A = this chain, B = another copy of it.
Amino acid sequence: MTRQEATPTHRTPLNKDRVLRAAVALADATGIDALSMRRLAQELDVVPMALYKHVANKEELLDGMVDTVVGEIDPLTAGPDWQSAVRGRILSARRVLLRHPWAARVIESRTGPTPAVLAYLDSMAGSFRDGGLSADLTHHVMHAMGSRLLGFSQELFDTSGPSGPPGPELAARYPHIAELAATAAHDGSSPVGGGCDDQFEFEFALDLLLDGFESLRCQGWTSARKA
């Protein structure tokens, strides 16, 4: 009985890809805070230290997770103009980020770009250049877009908090915020932006920026700063 082909003592062996995908799934299911090396190992029926044969440390695990989700963004699709091409890709990125709510915060926490992110940003820069923006303008435009390039704006505060009714004393202390909440409440909302149509807000800012870029391009904008 040296062979144990029938007995399931042999699990399919680990590899970096399985580790990363399990990590993404675990973060999707239980939130990024609950993702520890120990919990992840447990999920893979393995002892914690086994993970370290496939990722150097937790930072590298997080980097890999970022690359995994960035890899889910749709490739470029041609559009009638540069703006709609960029717009479509960014909205695809947004859909990906909405599938993985933890990803935005993890991306922000990385200190350096990972290969998949670099590739994505590179192709984005290419879209701007192809659209006729100068290298100079493209540079500033990429900065101006910031994390919106990756499909999210940091919402400043959790838009779906359990914040109850505004309360009159709060309205007295923060009258303008109360007013905004009231206008948004027409389609179901809570005090500081809860219940807003996030998708609308995202596209509002995105289009404002894209329109601004196009207008700068038309007028041959160039940065006025000199050496």
Residues of A within 8 A of B (CB): 105, 107-113, 118-119, 121-123, 125-126, 129, 135-136, 138-140, 142-144, 146-147, 149-150, 153-158, 161, 163, 173-177, 179-180, 182-184, 186-187, 192-193, 196-197, 200-201, 204-205, 208-209, 211-213, 216, 223, 225, 227
Contacts and interface: CB of A to CB of B under 8 A. Distances in A.
Contacts of A211: 212
Give this chain's copy count.
2
Contacts of A155: 146
Given A105-B109, A176-B129, A139 B187 contact: no
Given A135-B179, A227-B187, A208 B212 contact: yes
Given A153-B146, A177-B125, A201 B111 contact: no
A112 B161 contact: yes
A174 B110 contact: no
A173 B123 CA distance: 11
